[in-house]
Amino acid sequence: MDKLSDLLPGKTSTDPEDLLCYGFDSSGLEAPPTAVVWPQDVTDVIKVIKYAYANRVPVIPRGAGTGMTGGAVPSKGAIVLSMEKMNRIIEIDEENLTVLVEPGVLNGKLQRELQRRRLFYPPDPASMNFCTIGGNVAENAGGARAVKYGVTKDYVLGLEAVLPDGRLIRTGVKTAKGVVGYDLTGLLVGSEGTLAVITKIRLKVLPMPQEVITLLVFFKELEKTGLAVTQIISEGIIPRTLEFLDKETIKAVENYKPIGLPKDIDAMLLIELDGVPSVITKDAEKISGICERLDGEIIMAENEAAREKLWEARRAVSPALFHISPTKINEDIVVPRSKLPEMLRILKGFSESSGIRIVNFGHAGDGNIHVNLMVDRNNKTEYEKAVKLVEEIFRATLELGGTISGEHGVGLTKKNYISMEIGPDELELMKKIKAVFDPTNILNPGKIFP
């Protein structure tokens, strides 16, 4: 790889320590690359891609490595193209409510810059303070606010990207609408770095909501949590977040960081409303009424400090889970919202019959459950049992009209399950689209497809 470092002096490394640092993501999988490159601009990206194309070397575009399904884990002999230094916010167009960013800008950083101008970019994956907008676009990231505001794809207006042979393309528009030709932008969003390397992103933003109210509700029965969710939406109220934590999650949080959550509850909901103060106050009252009738115990926060306190439990979930077992098999199934109680019952049954601890939390408003199987990878019997259970969970999810991934994508960890959801003809179309963009299969090979 000497030639690569000649091409991009000072921006390339083959130092074993760097290779280790860029060989994994949040899936827990790892495989060191043969080189890491930190492009500074699109010209650098094109140089790397042309080099890789000429030498038939795999290239793995990488945001911050917070992906859950191994999308950024290198394949054999690969160059990691770490986009972290292409992190400029190029333009904030306040008049037209759009921003132009490089892929390496952190989601949280963009949020803060917009906030200062009283603007708002809704997608907020749990990793928002670490993850990049480029990674969000590649994975079509969701977040807690998706129930009201949708996911990343709903905000991407246009892209600049480098094709696997080094050609630069521009897709989409700068305007609110545009219907000229096929939607290449939409195709690149969620393509998990397999079709092109994204180098610029034009996003739609919104005016900042006037005010936010946060509610925490404790329920004695899991069943009633699901009922509360359905009844809130049936009232015509769309909260901006509608998160739930089950009993096992609450226990894990309390063990990791005692917050003082009640011990005798079965589940809790974290509900956030945003909009005009008078309206959300009334909506909060309605929600309180619904939850009280379902024996929920309610805490309300109307200022930033109180709100932060209520979010404490939700934010502690991820680190807490890392403390309760050596391995966490982390899925993100979605079922139609009305099927949430049924799915939670099924998961409880699976846990009881298999003896495997299952911890559930997630975006109840979307029917999106983060299902965590707590095991030990070194305990072969247990681990294999858990892997089998994942398949059963996916089967039950699909039978209820759901999907096996609402946010995390397929990557490496789900590629052997993709055929459970996507039929052979649809998969064939996708593979042929991959071949249109990347005929020599150098861009993030081995991902998505079995």
Looking only at residues 236 through 295 of this chain, which bind a second copy when binding is defined by CB under 8 A? 236-238, 275-276, 278-279
Give the pairing type, strands 357-363 and 368-375: antiparallel
- Among 13, 27, 98, 249, the residue binding a second copy under the rule CB under 8 A is 98
Give the interface segment with a second copy, choosing from 211-219, 284-292, 318-326, 428-436 (CB under 8 A).
Answer: 428-436
Does 173 bind a second copy (CB under 8 A)? Our answer is: yes
Does 171 bind a second copy (CB under 8 A)? Our answer is: yes
Does 2 bind a second copy (CB under 8 A)? Our answer is: no
Give the interface segment with a second copy, choosing from 250-258, 285-293, 306-314, 424-432 (CB under 8 A).
Answer: 424-432
CB of 428 to a second copy, least distance (A): 9
Does 175 bind a second copy (CB under 8 A)? Our answer is: yes
Residues in CB range of 108: below 8 A, 6 or more apart: 128, 129, 130
| 352 beta partners | none
1 or 89: whose CB is closer to a second copy? 89
CB of 288 to a second copy, least distance (A): 18
103 or 158: whose CB is closer to a second copy? 158
33 or 365: whose CB is closer to a second copy? 365
- Among 224, 370, 408, 447, the residue binding a second copy under the rule CB under 8 A is 408
Q: How far apart are CA 364 and CA 242, in angstroms?
A: 6
| 293 beta partners | none
- Among 96, 255, 416, 440, the residue binding a second copy under the rule CB under 8 A is 96
* Cα–chain center distance at 409: 8
- How many residues bind a second copy (CB under 8 A)? The answer is 90
Which positions from 353 through 382 interact with a second copy, judged by CB under 8 A? 363, 365-368
241 or 405: whose CB is closer to a second copy? 405
Which positions from 123 through 142 interact with a second copy, judged by CB under 8 A? 139-140, 142
* Cα–chain center distance at 34: 27
Whether residue 148 contacts residue 238, with contact meaning beta carbons closer than 8 Å, is answered with yes
Nearest Cα residue to 59 out of 447, 436, 448, 443:
443
Find tokens 């999308």 and name the residue.
Answer: 71
For 427-449, the DSSP string reads HHHHHHHHHHH-TT--BSTTSS-
268 or 422: whose CB is closer to a second copy? 422
Does 432 bind a second copy (CB under 8 A)? Our answer is: yes
Integer angstrom CA distances of residue 313 from 40, 121, 251? 38, 24, 11
Does 418 bind a second copy (CB under 8 A)? Our answer is: yes
| 300 beta partners | 215
Q: How far apart are CA 38 and CA 87, in angstroms?
A: 11
Nearest Cα residue to 45 out of 64, 24, 59:
59
Angle at CA of residue 162, ends 156 and 165, nearest 5°: 145
Does 426 bind a second copy (CB under 8 A)? Our answer is: yes
Nearest Cα residue to 123 out of 107, 138, 135:
107
Does 441 bind a second copy (CB under 8 A)? Our answer is: no
CB of 222 to a second copy, least distance (A): 18
Give the pairing type, strands 59-62 and 79-82: parallel
Does 425 bind a second copy (CB under 8 A)? Our answer is: yes
CB of 179 to a second copy, least distance (A): 5
Q: How far apart are CA 171 and CA 180, in angstroms?
A: 10
Other beta carbons within 10 angstroms of residue 380's beta carbon come to 9
Which positions from 298 through 327 interact with a second copy, judged by CB under 8 A? none
1 or 173: whose CB is closer to a second copy? 173
Nearest Cα residue to 134 out of 187, 85, 198:
198
268 or 334: whose CB is closer to a second copy? 334
CB of 52 to a second copy, least distance (A): 18
The alpha carbons of the chain give a radius of gyration, in whole angstroms, of 22
Which positions from 50 through 69 interact with a second copy, judged by CB under 8 A? none
Does 92 bind a second copy (CB under 8 A)? Our answer is: no
Token pair of 199 as six digits: 């180098």
376 or 392: whose CB is closer to a second copy? 392
CB of 195 to a second copy, least distance (A): 8
12 or 225: whose CB is closer to a second copy? 225
Does 31 bind a second copy (CB under 8 A)? Our answer is: no
Nearest Cα residue to 25 out of 58, 63, 81:
63
Nearest Cα residue to 208 out of 92, 365, 97:
97
Does 445 bind a second copy (CB under 8 A)? Our answer is: no
Other beta carbons within 10 angstroms of residue 449's beta carbon come to 15
Does 184 bind a second copy (CB under 8 A)? Our answer is: yes
- Among 10, 17, 179, 263, the residue binding a second copy under the rule CB under 8 A is 179
